Amino acid sequence: MNGTTILAGLLALTTFGSGTGVSLDTYYVNKNSIPLTEIQYEQLETMGFDEYEIDNMSQERFDKLVSYGFIPNEATTTANNYGQQNNTDDPPVASPNAAVPYPGYGSPPTVEFTKSDAYKTMTITVTISQKDEGYYYLYVDQDLIWNNVPEDRYSDILAINYDDDLYITSTDGYLDIDAFLGYTEKNTVKTGSTLFDSVKTTETVTEHKFYYDSYDESKLITHKIDEYLAFQANLPKDEYYSTVLRTETTEYSDFRISLSTIFKTQHQNQGGAMLQGYYGHQEKKLHFEPGKLSFTTSPPYISYSVDLPEYETVFDDVMYRDFSIDFSEI
């Protein structure tokens, strides 16, 4: 966490004081006036939450994570008997963080899976909670970051496929799903004439961050029969405009797309679960409906089932990562 974040949290703590119920153990207060202990903050980071997501987290989402046992209700939570969850992939991608970071709370085991190429990195973080005896809850956070921004950008898809031993939990009739799209916009305007050496340059940088949940059915798609959920992300393209005395360039970078959900096991004492993470990137614009996508564990991985052959596959660049969770090692 950087100094600005810590200062913001401390200022918020000073402002609210003990009269609003902020405990002496409060480490950070976010924009929605939710006080977090240091244990809670660090656990959210381990689960895949970044600084912006924590700062903008709603009370409803925070309460949900507490109720499912992913983060402690308070710093004095009794230590549980969580063991260590091993990454079952071969070769191992990352060591899980299942240690007890602070006295008084054993953090739920977390395991991380990655897949990367020269342009992008997909990271899937799974946190496991045994809230109900014999049943497990899984918080799955899937992130896609473009390390080298592609020139051609249209509508991409981020998806999680899961087996029939899991189901997505819900709150008040809405599935526990969240998605995020973020990027940086740089606008450069040059006015004047190079002939008279009177060119003036103005640059403006804007951070764009968009959140979606299961209330927004236009972006988030769930398919219970085929057992997948998907997030459609529209990536803006660079723009260039020029006249005699003015040029304007808009460039986009730092693309990050994420999809997260909470699963629960269907059966008591279930041995494990299999999931797959997908990302499909369009290099040419082809319309698709996420509800008609199909996902497989072999190439082309993502297909679009329609009558016209030219629309059979709408993604030119697909990233795929399968991963398994062994509950017997918890």
CA dihedral 178, 89, 87, 170 (to 10 degrees): 30
Span 69-89, pLDDT tens digits = 899 886 444 334 443 333 434
How far is residue 315's CA from residue 29's CA, in Å, rounded to a whole number?
Answer: 42
Q: Contact, 198 vs 192, CB < 8 A?
A: yes
Lowest mean pLDDT across 16-30, 56-70, 254-268, 316-330: 16-30
The mean pLDDT value for 18-40 works out to 76
Nearest Cα neighbor of 201 from 212, 209, 190 is 190
pTM above 0.75, yes or no: yes
pLDDT of residue 99: 35
Q: Residue 218 carries which side chain, given as an amino acid letter?
A: S
- Count the helices and strands in the chain (H runs, E runs): 4, 19
In the predicted structure, residue 299 carries a pLDDT above the cut 80: yes
Which DSSP category does 97 fall into?
B
Contact residues for 288 (Cβ-Cβ < 8 A; gap 6+):
155, 157, 304, 311, 314
pLDDT in tens, 110-150: 999 999 999 999 999 999 987 677 889 999 999 999 999 99
Cα torsion through 11, 12, 16, 21, rounded to 10: -130
Q: Distance between alpha carbon 94 and the CA centroid of its chain, in Å?
A: 18
Return mean pLDDT, the chain: 79
150-207 residue pLDDT tens: 999 988 999 999 988 899 998 888 888 999 999 999 999 999 876 666 788 999 999 9
d(CA 153, CA 129): 38
> So what's the pLDDT on residue 311?
54
* Cis amide linkage into residue 300, ω under 30° from 0: yes
Listed in sequence order, the residues at least 6 apart from 80 whose beta carbon sits closer than 8 Å to its beta carbon are 105, 106
Q: How far apart are CA 125 and CA 323, in angstroms?
A: 10
Q: % helix / strand / coil in the chain, to the nearest 5?
A: 15, 45, 40
Coil, strand or helix: which one is 148?
A: coil
- CA separation for the pair 111, 72 (Å, rounded): 18
- Average pLDDT (300-327) is 78
Provide the token pair at 306: 């329609």
Instruction: Tell whether the model's pLDDT for residue 41 goes beyond 50.
Output: yes
CA 242 to chain centre: 37
Q: How confident is the model at residue 32 (pLDDT cuts 50, 70, 90)?
A: very high
The secondary structure of 184-245 as a DSSP string is EEEEEEEES-TTTT--EEEEEEEEEEEEEETT-TTTEEEETTTTEEEEEEEPPPPEEEE-SS
